[in-house]
Amino acid sequence: MSFRVGEKVVYPNHGVSVVEKIGEGFATGPVSPRSFYHLRLLSNNSKVMVPIGNTDLIGLRRLTQRKDITGLMKRLADSRFSASGDWKGRYKQNLDKMKSGKLHDIADVLKTLNFISSRKTLSFREKKMYERAKYLIVSEIAVINGLDEQEVERQVDRALTKSAAAKAAAH
């Protein structure tokens, strides 16, 4: 997958980024110069270089299409998820989903952790993961739809409330 300068892309577990330039850089070790995407993360303005040949391995992807946001919000609101197992196993599963960078995987993590947090206090690590998952979803939807992040967060919270209520009613 190739990207253009100025294009907004998603860097897994860090969120929306802008391709600022495509150019040379040096890989670590005794290697000749390689071509890199030079990205700026919108969350904190830090810069990242991604080797052009490693975009698939890293999971760099285009923004989710606007038409897919409705489905994502429905997914956040439904009660289809598993909140079982010990926290260590669940944490590992959730970590793998977060690393995938796919918005629907991150949505699954968010609604699972949201439901668990309605029942008991999340561990420190799960609380951090919840905050990260919510940020990644809210920030990407806000960029795609040109909306304020607070408005998107309210929409996400409404969907999560529906999901947790439906799951609780099913038990």
> How many domains does the chain fold into?
2
| Main-chain dihedrals φ then ψ at residue 78, nearest 5 degrees | -80, 170
pTM of the complete model = 0.89
Residue 71 shares a structural domain with residue 147 = yes
Residue 152 shares a structural domain with residue 127 = yes
| Tens digit of each residue's pLDDT, the chain (171 residues) | 899 999 999 999 899 999 999 988 766 655 666 789 999 999 999 999 999 988 988 999 999 999 999 999 999 999 888 777 777 888 999 999 998 888 999 999 999 999 999 989 999 999 999 999 999 999 999 999 999 999 999 999 999 999 989 888 886
User: Which residue is associated with the tokens 């980024």?
Assistant: 17
How far is it, in rounded angstroms, from Cα 168 to Cα 88? 23
Range of the domain at 39: 8-62
Residue 72 shares a structural domain with residue 153 = yes
Q: Which H helix or E strand runs over 25?
A: strand 15-25
Domain end call among 42, 62, 82: 62
Residue 37 shares a structural domain with residue 98 = no
Q: Are 133 and 110 contacting, i.e. CB atoms less than 8 angstroms apart? A: yes
Residue 33 lies inside a defined structural domain of this protein: yes
